[in-house]
Structure 1
Amino acid sequence: MERSTGNWWETRWFALAAILASCVPLLAPALPPLADLPGHIGRYHIAAQLHASADLQRHWIFQWSLVGNLGVDLIVQALSPVLDAEAAAKLVVLLIPPLWVSGLILLARRAGGSLSPAAAFGFPLVYGYAFQFGFVNFMLAAGLALHALLLWCALSSRPALRSVLFVPIAFVLWIAHSFGWGMFGLLAFAAEWVRQREAGRGRGAALVRAGAWCLPLAGPALLMLGAPSGDGALWDWKAKASWFPSLLRERWKWYDVGCAALLFALLWAAVRDRRLRFDPLTGTAALLCLIAFVALPRLIVGGAYVDMRMLAPALALALAAVRVRPGHARLERWLALAGAGFFALRITTSTIAFLLFAQTQQAALEAVDHIPRGAGVLVLVNEPCSSQWHSDRLGHIAGIAVARRDVFENGQWALEGQQLLRARHPEADPYRIDPSQLVYPAVCEYKTTHFDEAIRDFDRGTFRYVWTLDFPARPALAGDVRLVWSNKVSALYAVK
């Protein structure tokens, strides 16, 4: 293991500053402006308050069971006696970036004795597309997986103890999110393969031994036997190719694409430039995650964007693995300075972007005060095509109305094996669950709900209000659906 030379980017002060800075974009917004998070908050509220609310009981069924998608749900539930769902969710989400950045820093130090001068380039990847989507259970599990790998490596000299400890740890990671558990399996296998190779074993023997030592991690696979398979696996190669430019997709297309291109260029330079090399541990872990990204489908066992989730961790680990060979101190200093500057730039622009997203979301949420408690609300969101880089992230904003007013709305998820929530009111089909709230322009490849058809056909017994988002307000949507309140983003209509 290399020893630290005392460079500024290797100090504890820099590490602490990076860890704290990673959460700055999330500090000011009252609601972290992640696309799916408001919908999750609605579910957290139902889980915590269903027993105490007759309105929620009329609208929802929630039954706890063991599924691999409960990380933030369980923490928010534990905090529910002292914090409401919105405050608890913000607290947990606020901790995810520091969890990731600290994990990368500690892994880089474990692998090379000091922090890689290129590691800071990888810190902003915690704000990659999966986080922007609001896949908070996966992001939490992936952050925990980085720290679990540290423990795995620390116990490499005590393999029997490690095998015993990691049986329950594997289940904890799986409960947080099954894909996070799968990611840790790759990381642990990579670490064990490197250890076996460093012990002088051949490739074949190292593969067999690494697989054998990772068997204690396989327990959660038993819980997945017989689980619903969803719609089966789907490989979408066009979508997979789009994840590369979307690596840091946030608000400004060419800026985000340019930043992603810079990271890919840096890694390509590290492959080609003889002055640079990769640490075996983090480099091998990155390579396995990248192979998983290529091999995994977009849809599998009820989960979506499965492959996309692996890309940011793969690149973050690869950047943390980049080292400058001895004799090139000037290159090392410039690389560290550029990495810190890139991290500071992305944190600054993410902070601005989140403030702008939050401003639009808060304007949309002004409608909630005008919705009677316990009402049924048909939500219709003008959702842009996926090819449009910028979105105001209103697709699941109605989850906050569930948390604040105990309403029934049609944007909650109800995938068997993924969510524990079920919507009542079967008479409201097909406008009962996600994605019936999304209205895409006619030119988009996705087709869900047609606005005029929804207004004509929705069940007036279930829904006494219609809430439109990012559509122009009208005096009436139909003869019996009249405007009661509006602003520049939201319009609320009552069924007369």
Structure 2
Amino acid sequence: MEEPAQAPRWWQTRLFVIAVTLIAALPLLRPEIPPLVDLPGHMGRYRVQLALADHPFLNEWFDFRWQLIGNLGIDLLIIPFAKVFGLELGVKLIVIAIPALTVSGLLWIAREVHGRIPATALFALPLAYGYPFHFGFVNFALSMALAFNAFALWLRLARTGHFRLRAGLFLPLSCLLWLCHTFGWGVLGVMAFSAELMRQHDAGRRWHRAFFHAGVACIPLALPMALMIFWRSGDHVGGQTADWFNWQAKIGWIVMVFRDRWEWFDIASMAVVLMILIKGLRDPNIEYSRNLGLSAAFLLLVFILLPRIVFGSAYADMRLVPFMIAIGVIALRPKAGLSIRGTSVLATLGLIFFLVRIGATTASFWIYAQSYERQLKALDHVPVGAKLVSFVGEKCYSDWSGHRLEHLPAIALERRLAYSNDQWSMAGAQLLTTRYAAAKRYAHDPSEIVTGVQCPREWWRPISTSLARFPREAFDYVWLIDPPAYDARLATGLVETWRDGNNVLYRVDHSQPGPVVSDVELRAPLTPPRRRVQ
């Protein structure tokens, strides 16, 4: 632990904590819609949630039912935020708060454990923009940010001896955190138990007795277990749990922890964090806190044991990676023997690392924002209440920096109350399911994703199949977003109303027949192919 008698260094002051917390929000200031892969899809659901009473025709397309599920963070927060700020700005403000709260939570935990914020903790701050956040798991990311701050409060109340107050506070707090997202509650439980286990052992109890007393101390966190049983035992719940111990994928999640736009830069950033973690094992001037080291070890065990798919929700293990690594980094601290100059150099390097990552993410999000704005100009030509089917081009094997357009069609639902075929439809996982029967197999996700050819082990359809087979009588418009090359014959019966490069909006002319294409032709490249406009 750093010497408490010394005046706080510049990275240990409240002003510094406030500054880096605000800096963490910078990448999200420019984009009108935060460019997170799944977020536009969630925004479409929020619009249905808020507009259902005023627009009954939405009931013909979607079934929205409030349920007690462990995945309601922004779904609940957007109700008051939309009334004050409107839906889009309300969502943006909530999303901006996520990395800021993550940074403040990490620094608060570090201070509670080490007494002062160690210089090495600054290397953990860029993990607030980990791959799960870029993917758009916003309820999950919000719950993790809140879990970190709740864990810091748990540690503080233990340090000050307010155990009864802690028990009283965390009984409702654990339920609220579970309601935000189950994952955050689970991670808080793991960290709180490991911290209490170490505290009990340091108090002189043997490990088996410390284990028992730690479990008793964590009882106030256990009430959501009843909510979990109620949620997962309902008839409406579906989804499989599968893909255990996929070591190749797990190693990949670690490599991709910073995955955003520039592969070499993101991998190099992960290498920097790994070097810091290894430095704690090899450098005689740096050590691991036993408290946070045990928390990181427990989270690593959870990551190993988690399958990739839990209750139909994919990437369950991937979501934990940046937070597991962040706890490992803030577990580090310089030993008393390290000079003031040495700790200052470490802190300076950590701050530079944080600022470089934030700068790169800001630039990346700026580019994504321009792409979103270009695509969304099509919505100026979509009438309110239109029945819109969208097809977004994708590759069988995605590049490191995806275009993040997969769920952009949902902004048509959010802004124009137009039907969007990209909504998820899994009972028990979301509040909304689709019931537009006329759309047939083009009613929900992943029908919006199209490829140039049939991809192995994917449900995505080739664009030729989607254009030839979608039920034209069910839709008024077709929106192609960055599509693969396709034969112009497949646009028979479609009237172009807007175009920007190869992005195009068609109006379905119901008086004209669609293309007549056999299944044999669809399996082979159609000729002549349309040249893709760059």
TM-score by length of 2: 0.89
**Secondary structure at the counterpart of residue 259 of structure 1:** helix
Q: What whole-Å deviation, never above 9, does each CA across 1:215-267 have from its counterpart, x for those lacking one?
A: 22122122222153511232233221210110000001111011111111210
**Secondary structure at the counterpart of residue 175 of structure 1:** helix
User: What does residue 525 of structure 2 align with?
Assistant: none
Q: What whole-Å deviation, never above 9, does each CA across 1:383-411 have from its counterpart, x for those lacking one?
A: 23454201110000011111110011110
User: What does residue 383 of structure 1 align with?
Assistant: 394
**Do the aligned partners of 1:377 and 1:464 also contact (CA within 8 Å) in 2?**
yes
**Do the aligned partners of 1:191 and 1:285 also contact (CA within 8 Å) in 2?**
yes
For residues 27 and 155 of structure 1, what CA distance do their matches in structure 2 show? 35
Q: 1:230 aligns with which of 222, 235, 239?
A: 239
Q: What whole-Å deviation, never above 9, does each CA across 1:294-321 have from its counterpart, x for those lacking one?
A: 1111101232111111111111112112
Tell me, yes or no, if structure 1 residue 487 matches structure 2 residue 500. yes
Q: Where has structure 1 moved over 4 Å in runs of 4 or more?
A: 472-476
User: What does residue 197 of structure 2 align with?
Assistant: 193
User: What does residue 353 of structure 1 align with?
Assistant: 364
Which amino acid in 1 is paired with 2:497? V
For residues 444 and 396 of structure 1, what CA distance do their matches in structure 2 show? 22
Alignment of 1:109-258 (within 5 A): 109-156=111-158, 157-225=161-229, 226-227=233-234, 228=237, 230-235=239-244, 236-258=246-268
Shift of 1:277: 0.6
User: What does residue 435 of structure 1 align with?
Assistant: 446
Which amino acid in 2 is paired with 1:178? T
User: What does residue 454 of structure 1 align with?
Assistant: 466
Which amino acid in 1 is paired with 2:375? A
**Secondary structure at the counterpart of residue 79 of structure 1:** helix
User: What does residue 341 of structure 1 align with?
Assistant: 352
**Do the aligned partners of 1:373 and 1:407 also contact (CA within 8 Å) in 2?**
yes
**Do the aligned partners of 1:117 and 1:323 also contact (CA within 8 Å) in 2?**
yes
User: What does residue 468 of structure 1 align with?
Assistant: 480
**Do the aligned partners of 1:107 and 1:282 also contact (CA within 8 Å) in 2?**
no
Tell me, yes or no, if structure 1 residue 283 matches structure 2 residue 270. no
**Secondary structure at the counterpart of residue 430 of structure 1:** helix
For residues 440 and 141 of structure 1, what CA distance do their matches in structure 2 show? 34
For residues 447 and 433 of structure 1, what CA distance do their matches in structure 2 show? 12
Which blocks of at least 5 consecutive residues in structure 1 are unaligned?
none
For residues 351 and 395 of structure 2, what CA distance do their matches in structure 1 show? 34
Query: In structure 2, do the counterparts of structure 1 residues 324 and 309 end up closer, same or farther at CA, with 3 Å as the change threshold?
Result: same
Shift of 1:194: 1.6
User: What does residue 531 of structure 2 align with?
Assistant: none
For residues 408 and 78 of structure 1, what CA distance do their matches in structure 2 show? 25
Deviates further, 7-16 or 100-109: 7-16
**Do the aligned partners of 1:476 and 1:493 also contact (CA within 8 Å) in 2?**
no
**Do the aligned partners of 2:120 and 2:334 also contact (CA within 8 Å) in 1?**
no
Tell me, yes or no, if structure 1 residue 417 matches structure 2 residue 428. yes
User: What does residue 325 of structure 2 align with?
Assistant: 315
Tell me, yes or no, if structure 1 residue 27 matches structure 2 residue 29. yes
Q: Count how many residue pairs are aligned between Structure 1 and Structure 2.
A: 496
Shift of 1:474: 7.7
Q: 1:303 aligns with which of 306, 310, 313?
A: 313
TM-score by length of 1: 0.96
Deviates further, 24-33 or 210-219: 210-219
For residues 42 and 506 of structure 2, what CA distance do their matches in structure 1 show? 25
Shift of 1:12: 1.9
**Do the aligned partners of 1:167 and 1:217 also contact (CA within 8 Å) in 2?**
yes
For residues 111 and 449 of structure 1, what CA distance do their matches in structure 2 show? 52
For residues 224 and 108 of structure 1, what CA distance do their matches in structure 2 show? 31
Shift of 1:282: 2.5
User: What does residue 522 of structure 2 align with?
Assistant: none
Q: Look at both structures and tell me which one has the larger radius of gyration over its CA atoms.
A: 2
Shift of 1:476: 6.1
For residues 43 and 134 of structure 1, what CA distance do their matches in structure 2 show? 14
User: What does residue 42 of structure 1 align with?
Assistant: 44
Q: 2:303 aligns with which of 293, 301, 320?
A: 293
Deviates further, 414-423 or 389-398: 414-423
Query: In structure 2, do the counterparts of structure 1 residues 267 and 494 end up closer, same or farther at CA, with 3 Å as the change threshold?
Result: same
Shift of 1:483: 2.0
Query: In structure 2, do the counterparts of structure 1 residues 483 and 9 end up closer, same or farther at CA, with 3 Å as the change threshold?
Result: same
**Secondary structure at the counterpart of residue 63 of structure 2:** strand
**Secondary structure at the counterpart of residue 263 of structure 1:** helix
User: What does residue 107 of structure 2 align with?
Assistant: 105
Deviates further, 48-57 or 343-352: 48-57
Which amino acid in 2 is paired with 1:338? L
For residues 444 and 115 of structure 2, what CA distance do their matches in structure 1 show? 51
Shift of 1:160: 3.3
Tell me, yes or no, if structure 1 residue 324 matches structure 2 residue 334. yes
Q: 1:266 aligns with which of 273, 276, 286?
A: 276
For residues 427 and 463 of structure 1, what CA distance do their matches in structure 2 show? 9
Shift of 1:434: 0.9
For residues 139 and 157 of structure 2, what CA distance do their matches in structure 1 show? 27
Which amino acid in 2 is paired with 1:480? G
Q: What whole-Å deviation, never above 9, does each CA across 1:419-477 have from its counterpart, x for those lacking one?
A: 01121212312111111111245356534222111222212232111111102698663
Which blocks of at least 5 consecutive residues in structure 2 are unaligned?
510-534
**Secondary structure at the counterpart of residue 64 of structure 1:** coil
